[in-house]
Structure 1
Amino acid sequence: AQNPNTQPFVDAFTAKNGAEPGPFTNYAYDAANIAMLSMLSAGNDGKAVKSMLPFISNHYIGTAFQAYLDENGDQAIAYYTIFTVNPEGTEFVPIGDYDGQTDAVTLSE
């Protein structure tokens, strides 16, 4: 199941940049937002920022995923998009998803 926030992100990115985002652009966008919100919440104390990351992440619904982090900042539940490479070898093509919470693979083709 695709995240409902993905397509609006793709549309806005494409409108601004004249091209669709690369396959991991929305992951980088979400990670940067989680980091920024943690810094805004904790100030300039590195330990405080680190301690805020799991809290912010666990409440942030992004364009690619919701990353549930444990107290060490590691991903507690894995969600992955499964890709293949097109026949020309020039492009990643999504073919399914893995849901770590249910341990289920859903293929779209």
Structure 2
Amino acid sequence: MSAAGWFIVLLALVLANVPFLNQRLFALVPVRLSAPTGRKAAKKSAWIRIGELIVLYFVVGALGFMLEARAGNRFDQGWQFYAVTFSLFIVLAFPGFTYQYLVKRR
């Protein structure tokens, strides 16, 4: 695998975990969230995180297509390619999901 391929895989690993590791939209834009009790800080909803995950999947895909076209060998892809790559992107998001939802904090 070339350096560009490894770059895309590492970028996908990082961007797949971004929605789960902070409370900002795309790790840049602060989101106004109201805490129901006033004592704890409010968290992004799961729907916002899923939306971010989908948008970041398309960002990584666009960058991958750009690098592939730059190499001169852009290939047409069927629906199977997108189903497999989106599934892989979800699997790469597992560490962030585990940290956000499954790790108990005191």
Instruction: Say which structure is richer in helix.
Output: 2
Give the TM-score taking structure 1 as reference length: 0.34
Give the TM-score taking structure 2 as reference length: 0.34
Instruction: Say which structure is richer in strand.
Output: 1
